Each structure stands twice: as structure tokens, then as C-alpha cells.
Structure 1
């Protein structure tokens, strides 16, 4: 019987979660749910020097905002939904466990104690650099360095008993060809002679990523390790560690990088700052997140899913349920995925158009309040009609103000170009008569107002452009907006006439 699929997302709490990390979490989540498995959150906080207060809660909030339900994880926010039978889920709470496994590797002859000081290692590196070489701590020089391989057992015991600073390094066997498998990249062959003896356990009593994640993945019954391409160089060591412990390794899959919009290299915070787009799911300090920029979580999940994966069809819009059904590692690309800020806006536009107007009103009311629009001008039926008229042109709810501010406030300025084109010597006189026509119109509904104005135009042998452009300019301040008579009807007869009078006075 096949084992239950279990995947883990294992970020470090060293700051905000990059959008590339969200994509890694998403691919893990989709794969787990596709196969009826578990999505585990594990916090890899072995590097205490880089720990940032609040980062762990940020990670959990970001996953929840994106709709990724954590099956097991640290009880970060006191939620009863988090926890599980494989905990604890913070590596800092498992530190005693790792020492036990590091010592097991030493006893089995797969690891050794190294007493080299940082200053001595730095000296070796600089010495190699001066000769145009790269210093690698491995089979070709380890017997010349300060470690247990170059000492008598008694000396090793004395050094350890004295409390001398030391690390535990993996003993990489020379002259082997490792045959590795990756679900995305296929077969990979590695010559062990080019590998260094990585540190597994540090002098501060904490494990390195390599030891901790192997031990945790094994003890947590992780079946598939789906992680970023940057970990591909570590695959050889991780396979060797599984072999050294006598454990069956999980299936590995290394995801392609998310590349910057132009040029070479992976997407960075600086690219977002230069391009004016977010690279974090939620805001962090001075950096705006996708949530605060007005993106819908469904849109973010949708565009992230298609960065490095495709369904094999022309479909571009997917619900989370549809993504789960369609997702597979076999269609994940090997090459990097180019990030397109304009496409992310396109996705948000699509989701905004799909949403019911009622669902958009609370966010729009926040926008209106921020612009000083009083509560009495935010009546639900009125806002619903306004949003229905303007939302087709919007990418974000925040766009509603730019697209429809004239529904709430009278123009204080008029587009200069439009004025020069539309305002003729006789325009004011015609608009004065049009305002009289509007004042006499009952009921003041779009159809009735339109019929009355058009009758005036035809009765006086005028062109529609002669009146309609200037009338829109008076009401909106520009030659934009939805159907003019819907605007007039919504702002009301008195306001419409007042705006015509105000424009005539200002543009006289």
C-alpha cells in the first residue's frame, strides 16, 4: 500500500515571505491536495542570528490569505487548527534531537569532528584565492587540517572534554558517481570528488539546514520534497545523508526560479521597488504587499500557479479547486519563469469583473472615506449603481475613485485640452438652455433626460457633438466616464444644473 502523500513548506523566519516562497508553498499545497495528502508548515529557525521577530506570524498570515490551509504546523497564533502528531514544528525546539543524529553519523564513520578556527579557515581561503584556486574542505586536504581524522582517538577525546569549539562535518566519500533523480529535471550524475565536507552541526549547538531538514523530513514522514532550484546543489549531500542513516529518501522536485521582468537573474525586492510592483504577499515595514496593493488572493494564487507550470490547455483562469485538479509535477518547467507585472494586473482585472458588486462595496467605502466622502453619500443602492457603471475599466477597487470621483464631488478643474476643443463662443448660451431643459425634465431618469436634451439638439439644428462634449465636460471635468445621462440621473437634477452653471462661470 502506497504511503500517504506528505509535503512540507519549510521557510526561515528571517523576514517577509518572498513571492517566490509563496509559489513554492502553493506548488506543495496543490500537489498534496491533488493526492489527498497533508500540507505541513515547518519553521526552520536554526540560524538564530538571523531570526526576525514577527516573521513566523507573517508566514502563517500570508498562507492563510492565499487560501492555503495548513494541516500541521507550529501553534503560531494560538489557533486550534495548528499542531499535529509530528511536532514540534520549529527546529529550534528540536535541537537536542539533531545532536543525537549527528553523533550517530560520527559513530558510523560518516562524519567527523573538526576543530579548525574561523581565522585558520579564512587564512586557507585567502591563500587559495591568491593562487587563483578555490578552497574546498574535502578528501584532498582534510588529513592536513585540524580535525579528528588527522588525530589519535585520545587527542580527540581530550579536545572534546576540554570544551574546545568544534563542528561536525560530513565525510564525503571520494571517487563515487552519484546517480540522482529529480521529478522535474530527470537523472543527474554527480562526481563526489567535487563535493566539500559540509558542516552538519555547528559550534553553537545548532544543526545546519542540511542535517536538520533531512532528520525532520524523515521523522515527519515527508514523501515529497518540492523546493526551489537554489537547493539543487545540495541534492547530492542530502541523498548521501539518507544513505548514511539507512533511510529511504523522499521524491525530490526542484522548482524553476522566478526571473525578473527584464534582464537576467531572479526576481528581487529591488526589482519591485524599481518597477513599482509588490514582491511580498503582505506588506512588511516600508514594502507594500499584494494584499495592500489591492490584489485579490485568488488572482495572486492564479498567476503564481502559472509561473513555471502550465496545464497543457489554453485555460488561464483557475479557482483553487481547479488548480488542485489540474496540477502535476510533470508539467512544471525546467527553465526560469519570467515575471510579468502587467499580467498580474490582468489577472486581478479578471477577478474583479467576476466578483459581485456587493462584495466590492466595503473596500470601495474605505476608499471613499479616505477621500473625505461623507457616509450619507455612501448609500448602498447608489454605490452599487456607480460600481456597475465603472468597474469594467478597473483593475483594482482603488481605481474606482479615479474612474468615478465625479459621482461624489463636483469638478474643481477641467481638462485643458478638452476645453480648447469643446468650448466655443456660443457653448455657454446653449448649455444655459440645456440646463433649463434638464430642470423641466420629469421624472429625472436617464431615458427622459436623454430624450429631452436630444430634442433640444435636433430642434435647433445642432450637431450632437456641439452639446454632448461640453455637457460631459461640465459634469465630469473631462471627456470620460460611462453613459452621460446615467451620470446626470445619479448625481441628481439640482447637482447637474449646478455643475453646468459652475462650469459656465469658470470657463467664461
Structure 2
């Protein structure tokens, strides 16, 4: 069965607001809008909703572009690429919104409202105290400016509100959720006193102007859809098909937000060292299941199989452990040079890729996200490390034996040429055998002397990364600090 609306060229869009660091939900929405458009050979549009000037943040728009490009997402129309429906910033489309609002006024579908913000706050507080439904009480409806000025709470510059018919019960068919009847809407402000539109007017005007056929957005907008459908009807415009995606949620089932969860910031994933392929795979899993049940797949594979019947309407929990598992898989799939290029920005200060080249295999195998490299490699960047007595007692040799082993290791290792893992391990084994010491504890003692903690890449790789001189020096320094 074909998806409604696909008889004409499919056009989808996302419309983020430049109000700070881009939200991970922007990437989540972009993924499914782009996948659906590509599945049907259509177009994907990026629009910037910058009408809330009080929350506008300079540079945020560029961050949207940069982070979405980092994920591998591109768009066919947008502020940076142009298109037939330009401009793609709402702040550049103000005359259009004013014209449509005046048209609604003339047709009797909207009216001026002169109520002050203080008066509206008092109204809402009273409604809440009386446990009444909240919404505008239509004090201004049907009044001239002069008539309204005689009443309390008047302000000079009016807004324009939509006039919602009483009992305007509107239903629509959602591609994910089936038949939906949203709550009765109130008289929403369409045009603010500053001349900027509210979301509800702008989204309808822009989606129509840009030929959007399918609105794929978060479920939090379900309650607003009735307002949008009224506007479409009054204006005589074709209605897009709706699909409301499940919201990303925290473990406590609350909506994921930048206040509660750093992972709500899209930039956070770059800062933590997640690969874009892993994040795209993860976000797809949050709302979609592949026909064969696979959990590891590419964006192109989502496109090939995309079907709204496979979207789960239940809000998924944002499981960072699952993302770490996925990212580890994608890291292990990288070649040596690819891994080193990805790792370079996350290396401790003073280290370059050549310093860790001999460690690439063990690092790739044990790393879940690239930000872990700083802790895994701090010993390599340090001038010296310290053996903690508790670690030595738990994992290593008794102090006297430890001193003997470390001095013997240093003496024998500095004579190796070449100083490579293939020669290092046999040398360590020979020394341990000659001294008659426990191999595991002897090796752990050397590890503590070299990295200062009981966890590191394999000992021979660790020594090779340090080099012969630094290895011997650290072993001797550690031995000197132990009792005879």
C-alpha cells in the first residue's frame, strides 16, 4: 500500500530555531525527514525558524549546518543553498505573514487583541485557581480599539488572534498513530505585537509556500495540529500528511532536554568522540526497526527499507550504553590510519598520532568513545608516574621482589635492538624465569611502574610506545622508590 501524499513529489522539512546549541532532536527529526524524502525520490528542505528574537543566539544557525553536515545529512533547499521558495529564514519573510494575517482578519477568522501581558497573566492565574480550562477569554473579540481602551489591561499595539469556532473538533490521520482528535484549541496568537509571527502561523504559511507534502515532527506537536488544520482550511491550501515521531526520553521517561541531560546537545556527541555513523545508527534505532531485526545498519539501508509501519510510537529511552556499544563497533571497523585520524583531536596534549601508532590495535579494541583516550594515554604524555602502594599490594610483587624485577627488566630491555613487541615479551619471560618470580604479578608490577595504574594496553605495546630509554628510566625510578 502506498503512503498517502506520495502521488506528487514528496517534500519534507525540518525547521530548527537558532536559540543555542542544536538539540539532538534536530538530528533525529532530520534523519527521518531525509530518509522519507530519499525513499520517494523527493526533496528535503532546511528552514530556520528565527522569529523568537528574545532567544536568538548568534552563531547558532551555523552550528545547525555544521552538526548536520557532520552527520552526513544534506538538504536540497535551505538558507545556505538557496532554492525556488527562498528565503528560508522566517525573519526574512515577515511581509508574507502580515499579508496572510490581514487576510484572515478580513475573512472573520481572526481578530485584534489589545490585552496586556499583565492582564493575560492574571486571567491564566484565575483560571488555574478555579480549575477552569486555560485559554484566552475573548475580552477583545468584537470590540473596536476605542471600546477595548475603556477596559482594564489595555495595551496600544495589538496582536492578531485566530478565532476558533466553538467545539471545533478536528481529526486527522497520522501515518504512525492512525486517527487522532487533538484537544479543542484556543484562540492562538498568530501575529505578535512586534510584527513577528508565532510558530502556528509561520509553519502553515511556510509549509504551503515551500510545497511541503509530509510534516514529520515530534509528538509534542500533536495538540497544535488542530490549529494548523483550521488555518489550512480557512486559507484554502492543500493539507500535508502528518506523522508524529515518538519523543526521545530520559531514563525517567521525561522528555530529553539540555537542562537534564548533556546528551541533548548535538555538539556533545562530537566532543565525546562518537562517530557520526554510530550516532545516525543509534538515532534510527530510537524510532525505527529494520525488517530483519538488525541493530547495526547504515542510513542508506534505512532509506531502502523505510516504512512508517516500522516506526514505534512509544517514546524510546535514550540509552547511552547502547550508543557506546554501537560506537565501539564502528571504531573497531576503522582501519589503522582512519582510527588515528579520528583519534588525533582526543589525544592528551603533547601527543601526536606517531606517538600512539604502535598502540592503535589495542586502543581501537578497548575504546567505546574517543574521549576515553585521554585517560587511557595520560601515562604516555606524563614525564613520570607513581606506583600506589595499595595497587602494588593488590596486583604486584612484594616490594623487595618488585625492586629486583624492575631493575632486571630495565637492564635487559635497554639492550634490545630493535625495541619491538616481538622481542620485548620473550625478554620479560626470560628475566622472570631466571628470577623465579610469578609471571602475572611481575608483569603487573612493570605495568604499574610504567603507567601508574593496573590497566593499560598490552605490556609489550606499552613499552614499545614509550621507547627503550623511557621504559628503562621509568622502571629504574620506580625501583628506586621501593624498599630493598
TM bucket (normalised to shorter chain) is 0.7 to 0.9
SS in 2 for 1:207: coil
Aligned to 2:112: 113
| Residue 410 of structure 1, CA deviation | 5.9
Aligned to 1:249: 239
Rounded Cα–Cα distance in structure 1 between residues aligned with 2:249 and 2:118? 37
SS in 2 for 1:69: coil
Gaps of 5+ in 2: 1-5, 149-154
Aligned to 2:254: 265
Aligned to 1:147: 141
Rounded Cα–Cα distance in structure 2 between residues aligned with 1:28 and 1:271? 26
Aligned to 1:209: 199
Once structures 1 and 2 are overlaid, which stretch shifts more, 382-391 or 334-343?
Answer: 382-391
Aligned to 1:416: 389
Rounded Cα–Cα distance in structure 2 between residues aligned with 1:469 and 1:127? 71
Aligned to 1:372: 350
Rounded Cα–Cα distance in structure 1 between residues aligned with 2:434 and 2:117? 94
**Aligned partner (choices 359, 367, 383) of residue 386 of structure 1:** 359
**Aligned partner (choices 303, 306, 322) of residue 285 of structure 2:** 306
**Aligned partner (choices 219, 222, 239) of residue 212 of structure 2:** 222
CA contact (8 A) 2:45 2:77 kept: yes
| Residue 208 of structure 1, CA deviation | 1.9
**Aligned partner (choices 222, 228, 231) of residue 238 of structure 1:** 228
Rounded Cα–Cα distance in structure 1 between residues aligned with 2:419 and 2:74? 52
Rounded Cα–Cα distance in structure 2 between residues aligned with 1:326 and 1:503? 59
CA contact (8 A) 1:114 1:147 kept: yes
| Residue 223 of structure 1, CA deviation | 0.4
| Residue 303 of structure 1, CA deviation | 1.4
| Residue 231 of structure 1, CA deviation | 1.0
Aligned to 1:471: 446
Aligned to 1:183: 175
Q: For residues 124 and 351 of structure 1, do their structure 2 counterparts lie closer, same or farther at Cα, with a shift above 3 Å needed?
A: same
| Residue 398 of structure 1, CA deviation | 3.3
User: Are 1:428 and 2:403 matched, yes or no?
Assistant: yes
Deviation track 1:5-50 (CA, whole Å, cap 9, x = no partner) reads: 1111112222222112221122211211222111111112223333
Q: For residues 128 and 485 of structure 1, do their structure 2 counterparts lie closer, same or farther at Cα, with a shift above 3 Å needed?
A: closer
Q: For residues 214 and 434 of structure 1, do their structure 2 counterparts lie closer, same or farther at Cα, with a shift above 3 Å needed?
A: closer
| Residue 226 of structure 1, CA deviation | 0.8
Deviation track 1:76-109 (CA, whole Å, cap 9, x = no partner) reads: xxxxxx1011111111211111222222223333
Once structures 1 and 2 are overlaid, which stretch shifts more, 217-226 or 320-329?
Answer: 320-329
CA contact (8 A) 1:413 1:477 kept: yes
Aligned to 2:306: 327
Rounded Cα–Cα distance in structure 2 between residues aligned with 1:126 and 1:439? 80
Q: For residues 387 and 405 of structure 1, do their structure 2 counterparts lie closer, same or farther at Cα, with a shift above 3 Å needed?
A: farther
SS in 2 for 1:200: strand
Deviation track 1:432-464 (CA, whole Å, cap 9, x = no partner) reads: 444444455555443334334434444565543
| Residue 120 of structure 1, CA deviation | 4.4
**Aligned partner (choices 60, 63, 77) of residue 65 of structure 2:** 60
Deviation track 1:322-362 (CA, whole Å, cap 9, x = no partner) reads: 23223332222222111122222222222221222212324
Rounded Cα–Cα distance in structure 2 between residues aligned with 1:330 and 1:85? 32
SS in 2 for 1:225: strand
CA contact (8 A) 2:278 2:326 kept: yes
Once structures 1 and 2 are overlaid, which stretch shifts more, 392-401 or 421-430?
Answer: 421-430
| Residue 500 of structure 1, CA deviation | 2.6
**With structure 2 as the length reference, what TM-score do the two structures score?**
0.87
Rounded Cα–Cα distance in structure 2 between residues aligned with 1:63 and 1:301? 10
| Residue 220 of structure 1, CA deviation | 0.9
Give the aligned CA root-mean-square deviation in angstroms. Answer: 2.9
Aligned to 1:281: 266
| Residue 119 of structure 1, CA deviation | 4.5
Rounded Cα–Cα distance in structure 1 between residues aligned with 2:253 and 2:197? 34
Aligned to 2:329: 350
Where does 1:64-83 land on structure 2 (aligned, <5 Å)? 64-75=69-80, 82-83=81-82
Where does 1:29-40 land on structure 2 (aligned, <5 Å)? 29-40=34-45
Deviation track 1:209-244 (CA, whole Å, cap 9, x = no partner) reads: 212211111111100011111111111111111111
CA contact (8 A) 1:390 1:404 kept: no
CA contact (8 A) 1:386 1:404 kept: no
Deviation track 1:469-497 (CA, whole Å, cap 9, x = no partner) reads: 33333333343333323433444444333
